[in-house]
Structure 1
């Protein structure tokens, strides 16, 4: 349930801000007069409580200073206006909670949703700026170039999403779906007003009777899905980080621990319900021309309210990890060993994964970032020595073996629900991703030296940063042809990304971080020998461009643009790595 507004704030371009806390009832004429006072709705912020009655009336709370202060004479220049105003205002009691609480006029857009509210489900909620719920539901994992919606509508059903998008389309109001709120592209900042559609109530998980398929609500969290399937003796490919949504990563392809066996998250889909730009709720599958685009560029074409995915029997309950930590001076030797032990020219085992982080740990090295190697193996209680010995031979600072299950992977790699990366600290968290096929050890050393010079030490503003290198097993991804979906980089073996974490001081610092991240990525790109920048759209900074996000082939770009023109000609879904 939403709740009744506490105040209305009037702000004119030439005036101070005033607030009045006594409730009054306002008829349509007074509301028209208030609107006339503020022809630019960007100078009026307020909230209106809508009642379902024979005639809709509005409850307003506005500024006593406005009524009796030095601005009052300006608006009561004639006794007729004064009499009209006084006759229109009637005292009433304060209103209680109602399922139809709406934001009728917002600071940014003059969005009026009173005609939409009666058509939403009983569990739908609408929140406005100034409320605790609005603040909670608009928070982002990264504060850099974050979107600024004017109103939050919490969808209670799939049809709610359809009705909201249809309403927004008819009113030419931007919309943006929120789920796990971890998308950090700078393009999201282009949403400076509009409706946020909050999806986490759409979190149903229904396993089919044949136990080969599961239907997943569009707001479901990855860990919730993993836990539900595990309890049924099943599993599927999900994102690795426990706090992210299931579908957010999937629409950009979606990497996961089980991809060596089964492919990307999106490769598991058999059908989906998607709300298109005009508000239509459609069920699509491989027979639709849109199906190809939804697997890799799906953010551009609609809001997925549910999806049906393949699931699999749990084959191995045992997993093991060995965490081996080095000083940075060994960077070249470490990644030369990684090429020979793991990458193996693309023949890596489906049961082995290798991640590495560059990050500060003063307990091990007070001067420079350490290199943390995670060697993860499925189906064992200890990682086999053929994978660990080459690294032991390099003289690490520390080595820690652990045994457990699939459920332990998040905690082992620092991305569990309670891990720091899953908390909302209010930092800026831009990433600068690049796909590669192997490690260029010269480039690794050059990148490490630049990175260390920027983030070393507790006094660095970037001291909490992480340079990530994710080497998943990739055989399952390559089992599908390159052109099977809009995900363009099935031949890549490594996903590298500096994540620069900082509390922003000003735009100058933001620009400096962008330059640093871009330089680090450029060093890695030069090491590939390719002029092309291949990026993972779900990690993207936001300025890479459509070729880097969706592939350099002309046929890919042409196909995406044609589908965009067909299904979203007005580019309603364009805030997340937009095609148009």
Structure 2
């Protein structure tokens, strides 16, 4: 069989054998003819198909029967144009942590895997950078860091830059600069009809792309604001508590960290609940992380109220911005970044402060479902992210589709690890 561009196009074999078993889709030879010679096409049954279509969360996962890996931005437009013409569903894949269960409505179609569109190009003036659509957050951080620059990214190293950004996007630097989406200056986006458009603040679509962007197109590159790297030092103190301290720990967070929405721009708090039966067989332990920028040790003004509660473990650490993901367990090598065939449902809730009564009720429910040795949820965890909201609130709420600027940016998640 003669394939167009056969010397450079990677294609899983036996299309003719598999086609009769698949719903209506697009002949990969047609895609190959329309796309650049750097595009890769994988069919079901190949190891490449399995690797590129594997989901981070298997709960409510979409089903695809053809994977196309575009080599250029225009390739994305060609793929969407053909899918539109032949009425074939398509979905962009871009990293991990996508877990919206409504995606299971897709029961066949094309996966557009953006892994080849990766890179960061810093402008000559050092004030902006153009980030390719498939770039993950760690690549952005490391590339900018090497140039003495930084910008707001998601916190997990394995998550794509644009995945969280198109929904607004929280990160360690949001207390200073706002959300990830607040850094956008322009973008190239493939619309549903296959048009590759460049949009900016003068475009009708701009407001929607900053907060609801996943619904309106596939972003193939984005130009963003970047900033001089002013503070290289960061510090964290990890304080571990038994479950009887739930109310006290989160009241201390309200009183000494959150302070009615005025948590300082250089300060963040995270916490996890997870089981350590050897420490507390009656329920999950609480790991409270207090993180501060520009210091080699977290200020006692923030840590002492928690130390006074009697943690069973206290661990201070110091390093740089690039250590943060490892400290809180979300680096590339950490369990939350692995595709391990697990169900990872997440339920975000925005709260301005912790309701300590509710925290106790939720803790008790979580404990009852996870602590039994035979429980399938024994290795589950609850996760709370508490970033500074000062930079987020400083941006006009009417400037984007992001809906929660006036509310504390807190994520409550329950993950099956």
Q: TM-score, normalised by structure 2?
A: 0.96
Report the Cα distance in structure 2 between the residues aligned to 1:494 and 1:482, rounded to whole angstroms: 14
Question: Which residue in the other structure is 1:51 paired with?
Answer: 3
After superposition, the Cα gap between the structure-2 partners of 1:100 and 1:226, relative to the gap in structure 1 and judged at 3 Å, is closer
Partners of 1:98 and 1:387 in 2: how far apart? 57
Report 1:259-278 matches (<5 A): 259-278=174-193
Once superposed, what is the RMSD of the aligned Cα atoms?
1.5
Answering whether residue 294 of structure 2 is matched by residue 409 of structure 1, we say no
2:26 is aligned to: 112
User: Displacement of 1:483 after TM fit?
Assistant: 1.7
1:418, CA displacement in angstroms? 0.4
Over 3 Å counting, the alpha-carbon distance change for 1:106 and 1:123 in structure 2 is: farther
Q: Based on CA coordinates, which of the two structures has the bigger radius of gyration?
A: 1
Give per-residue Cα distances to partners, 1:91-145, cap 9 Å, x unaligned.
xxxxx87627374636442313222211211110100000000000000110001
1:296 and 1:329 map into 2 onto residues whose CA distance is 38
2:276 and 2:10 map into 1 onto residues whose CA distance is 51
Q: TM-score, normalised by structure 1?
A: 0.69
Partner of 1:164, secondary structure, is helix
Which aligned segments of 4 or more residues in structure 1 are displaced greater than 4 angstroms? none
Runs of 5+ unmatched residues, structure 1: 1-48, 54-95, 503-580
Per the alignment, residue 138 of structure 1 pairs with 53
Alpha carbons of 1:133 and 1:411: their partners in 2 closer, same or farther (altered >3 Å)? same
**Are the equivalent residues in 2 in contact too, given 1:50–1:100 (CA < 8 A)?**
no
Equivalenced residue count is 412
Q: State the partner residue of 1:430.
A: 345
1:460 is aligned to: 375
Higher RCO structure, 1 or 2 (CA under 8 Å, sep 6+): 2
* Residue 393 of structure 2, aligned match among 475, 478, 491: 478
Q: Which secondary structure does the structure 1 equivalent of 2:284 belong to?
A: strand
Equivalence map 1:76-225=2 (5 Å): 99=9, 101=11, 103=15, 105=19, 107-113=21-27, 114-225=29-140
1:184-241 Cα deviation digits (max 9, x unpaired): 0101111111110010101121100000000000000100110000000000000000
5+ residue gaps, structure 2, are none
Is residue 108–residue 192 contact of structure 1 (8 Å, CA) maintained in 2? no
State whether residues 11 and 43 of structure 2, in contact with CA within 8 Å, keep that contact through their aligned partners in structure 1. Answer: no
Closer, same or farther: CA 98–377 of 1 in aligned 2, 3 Å:
closer
The Cα offsets for residues 333-392 of structure 1, whole Å up to 9 and x where unpaired, read as: 111110011111111100000001111123422331001100000000000000000001
Return the offset for 1:457: 4.3
1: CA distance between counterparts of 2:161 and 2:9? 28
